[in-house]
Structure 1
């Protein structure tokens, strides 16, 4: 018999169609739901128009309207301090150190499944519910598994690799077995006015995609120009500050080399950006830190798995060597293009997420 607490759920509502349908499904399944939107940053502080991000006033009103239609209480929680510390500051620090971060992973880790998770506990909610496309299953031995969504085109398991056993036990993804068309159909049937609302594609606090511009505004710092060089150290030109570049980049370099050149490495200590040919971007091996194993407590010292090093990449076969408590070394069977420091490496066994961590080299 479930306790009353077991049937209480905190729904993270962004104002989009996915979280709205997640809230509807939880209510349909008999849960006592509370809808919440996390206020993550002051738009003006980030130099962002109030109408151009998932934290806009319009989105709050969209979420509030859906909650009202569903007859569930709705709140806005101010997590701006946590978001600045755990997401925006980390984003800036990564670029300053020549890495390319994925802030959505940090937001899931530190905001949705940490700050919001603790707020849910305070409110007596047993579950935190989001509109992510992923699935959670419990094995016969009691261990919780994170699995890919049923719809591979919408699968978001890559950005959820940091979930712990405790968090998985208290998280629900109602959309995990659905595709986007089904989600929009439900929203349409329920007369949700956001049924056709487009998905957010950009980083919420950099909706124009100008990361370097955001970092300069956010820090108030100037990032000095430096040398573009080849791998042998020959100077090819001047860059406009290392925060403006990422491994694999070809456009916007301003270099007339007579052939396509790409960013192959960023060297913050020397304020240098190394350029090379496309083939210079291919590597088989990488090191990963802050690795979170989901599928088992004690991983074997070496095992085979499929791995992906970018959100949209199809996972590839690799040999994984556990090198420390939270570190692994991955050797791909075939070289992969533009393995980038700061991005996530996530391991899979079929549909099951073995775990993931941050690429450091």
Structure 2
């Protein structure tokens, strides 16, 4: 009997994953990761662990709690803060999957005698003609999480399983209730795992002190002061506190060298659009054989895929040329490439080349 460890968060997706694998005849063991605790934001780690314990008891499987707080701090949180200080808009969930779940936790599962690590991600695996595992979108397009897994290694795909990848969310809820899982109606977690969205500025201020700077219009007109570039991202509207007549104002550029926040009126202002950008920290799950290479790209999790051409600048840098300009392409976010349903890989947006400057 093959042994599978399941990364369990206390949520319904990973809980049903464990149940389905047990029904398939695997020797299933739960793994709960302690990665972050902070009383300031009322972290739910203890309650999540209680849910894991309740689920494991209800389906009669053992579980282990794995303390990776130090590793999470070093590999995810500290890098998150460094990116903010560098004027970027990072996505720590991607780093958590890359470094914690699909590296350290996978290594732990294999060291404990497991053949696979399973998670509750909405993704699917398919085999190439040669038998190589490839990453595909989850069947539920609204819940597809392949974007968040683009940075894991291609080799790790040989040792992971996604039991609910071919299910829709409503089916997951239905089956969880049918099998009487104690957390079948638990709400999905949203936002950054270590901070509630409504308290983001307050939370970040504990680690990065405010640094006032000028707010300028695209014409160079002074409009006020900001409390810190790290509180803003490209395309942001809220928090500017700029009144007056006319359309609302949006962030269009952050100049770290001068600590200047540039803003423009109107959600379709030309400064908000770009048709080219450079990416670094490339990770290929299925690397193209030749460049230029045509595919589709997502510039953020909830964005629509856009047709593009990839041009290899160096081994570390690829230029993405969009077929049509896109709004709020943001340094620090991930650009993830797709060929139909397949996730090819991706990288971090390093430099944006605005459409209005070409």
TM-score range, shorter chain: over 0.9
Contact 1:309 1:344 in 2 (8 A): yes
Deviations 1:216-242 (CA, angstroms, capped at 9, x unpaired): 22x2x4222110012343322101111
Q: Would you say 1:35 and 2:24 are equivalent positions?
A: no
Whole-Å Cα distance in 1 between the matches of residues 210 and 289 of structure 2?
42
- Give the structure 2 partner of residue 261 of structure 1: 249
Deviations 1:2-34 (CA, angstroms, capped at 9, x unpaired): xx5xx1111000000000000001111111111
Q: Would you say 1:188 and 2:183 are equivalent positions?
A: no
Whole-Å Cα distance in 1 between the matches of residues 142 and 350 of structure 2?
28
Q: Structure 1 residues 272-281 or 334-343, which shifts more?
A: 272-281
Gaps of at least 5 residues in structure 1 are none
- Between the two proteins, the alignment pairs up a number of residues equal to 347
Whole-Å Cα distance in 2 between the matches of residues 209 and 37 of structure 1?
26
Alignment of 1:209-248 (within 5 A): 209-217=198-206, 219=207, 221-248=208-235
- Give the structure 2 partner of residue 140 of structure 1: 129
Match of 1:25 among 20, 31, 34: 20
- Give the structure 2 partner of residue 285 of structure 1: 276
- The RMSD of aligned alpha carbons is 1.4
Whole-Å Cα distance in 1 between the matches of residues 298 and 197 of structure 2?
27
- Give the structure 2 partner of residue 335 of structure 1: 325
Whole-Å Cα distance in 1 between the matches of residues 209 and 14 of structure 2?
39
Whole-Å Cα distance in 1 between the matches of residues 200 and 214 of structure 2?
20
Q: Would you say 1:295 and 2:295 are equivalent positions?
A: no
Shift of 1:183: 0.7
Whole-Å Cα distance in 1 between the matches of residues 4 and 345 of structure 2?
26
Contact 1:202 1:209 in 2 (8 A): no
- Give the structure 1 partner of residue 7 of structure 2: 12
Alignment of 1:1-361 (within 5 A): 4=1, 7-44=2-39, 47-50=40-43, 53=44, 56-217=45-206, 219=207, 221-259=208-246, 260-277=248-265, 278=267, 279=269, 280-296=271-287, 299-361=289-351
Gaps of at least 5 residues in structure 2 are 352-358
Q: TM-score by structure 2 length?
A: 0.94
Contact 2:41 2:196 in 1 (8 A): yes
Secondary structure of the residue aligned to 1:191 is coil
Q: TM-score by structure 1 length?
A: 0.93
Shift of 1:94: 1.4
Whole-Å Cα distance in 2 between the matches of residues 185 and 231 of structure 1?
52
The runs of at least 4 aligned residues of structure 1 exceeding 4 Å deviation read: none
Contact 1:288 1:329 in 2 (8 A): yes
Whole-Å Cα distance in 2 between the matches of residues 330 and 15 of structure 1?
39
Whole-Å Cα distance in 2 between the matches of residues 326 and 20 of structure 1?
39
Deviations 1:131-187 (CA, angstroms, capped at 9, x unpaired): 000001121213221000111111111101012221000000001100011111111
Does the C-alpha gap of structure 1 residues 293 and 299 become closer, same or farther in structure 2, counting only changes over 3 Å? farther
Shift of 1:257: 4.7
Whole-Å Cα distance in 2 between the matches of residues 14 and 84 of structure 1?
18
Whole-Å Cα distance in 2 between the matches of residues 194 and 263 of structure 1?
41
Contact 2:154 2:286 in 1 (8 A): no
Whole-Å Cα distance in 2 between the matches of residues 96 and 105 of structure 1?
19
Shift of 1:248: 0.3
Secondary structure of the residue aligned to 1:213 is helix
Whole-Å Cα distance in 1 between the matches of residues 85 and 152 of structure 2?
27
